[in-house]
Amino acid sequence: LDIDLIVSNLTVYIPHNFIRNGKTADASGLLYQGKFGQVNLKDDTTCDFLYRFVVKGTEESAPRFSSKYDFLFYDLDYGEAGRMTETVKICEFDAQRKSLVQPLFSTVEDACKDRDQPPPCLDTTIEFETSVEPPRGNCTTASATERGFGRDNAEAPEQILRPVADMDDFEKAAARKYFNVTFAGGATEFRVTFGLTAAASEGSSGRNFQYSVFGRAESITLFEPCPPPPSAPPPPPPPYCDAC
C-alpha cells in the first residue's frame, strides 16, 4: 500500500518563502529533489500544522500502522544574537480538547545510550520544556540552543541516523541538532506547532523546519474485525440401503 503525507495548516500560516515548502533541494540545488520534508515559516510567527498519512493519491486516511514509527525533526537552531530561535511543540489536546496521540521524545544522546555506543558520544543542543497550556493540556516544546548556519545542514537522514563512530565532524554537528518523536502503532496523524522568534528586522526573514519519517515495519495491518469461525460441516447422508 502506497502512502502520502499531507501537511496542512490549522491556524494562520505566514511563510517567508513559500517555494521552500514541500521537500528540500538536492545537493546540486535542484528544488524538491532532496530527502527531507520542509515547511517554511516567517520570523516572529507560529502556526499549528496537521500531519496526516493518507492512501496515495486520495484524501482517505491510511490504515492504522501495525507498529510505532519515528518522526524526526532536523536542524533546530537559531540565528545571530539568539534571534530567530526555532521551536517545535506537541500537546496533549487540540484546541477543542480532543485527545491527541502522546509520543515519546528522544535525541542523539538517547540513541547513544540505547545502542550502547562507546564514548565519546554526542550531547544534544535541543532543550525540552513541559508546560500546561489550557485548553491544550500538557505540552512539550523542543527549543534550539545553538546558532546555525546555512552550510551546516545535513542533506539526507542517513547522515545522522547511524552510529556516531561512523560520522564525520560535519555529520556529528548536524546530529546534535535533531530530535526524534516516536508515535505508537495505530497513529496515522498528529498535530505540531512550529514557532520562530523575530529577526533583527521583524518580518523580514524566515527559516525552514525539516523532517523525515521512519517506519518500524513494512506491513500495514488494517485492523479489520476477526472473521467468524467456520460453521460446522453438514452431517453425512445416511448409508444407502436396498432393503430398508
The per-residue pLDDT for range 136-165, each reduced to its tens digit, is 999 999 999 999 987 788 999 999 998 888
Cα separation, 154 vs 36, in Å, equals 9
pLDDT at 151: 77
pLDDT at 185: 79
| C-alpha grid cell, residue 15 | 511563510
Residue 164 lies in a domain: yes
Residue 198 lies in a domain: yes
What domain range is 100 assigned to? 3-215
Residue 238 lies in a domain: no
Residue 241 lies in a domain: no
Residue 229 lies in a domain: no
Dihedral, 147, 152, 153, 158 alpha carbons, nearest 10: -120
pLDDT in tens, 192-230: 999 999 999 989 999 999 999 987 653 333 333 334 444
Residue 231 lies in a domain: no
Q: In the predicted model, what is the mean pLDDT of residues 14-35?
A: 90
Strand partners, 195: 46, 87
Query: What is the tally of structural domains in the chain?
Result: 1
Residue 60 lies in a domain: yes
Cα separation, 73 vs 66, in Å, equals 23
Strand partners, 15: none
Residue 222 lies in a domain: no
pLDDT in tens, 80-115: 999 999 999 999 998 888 888 889 999 999 988 887
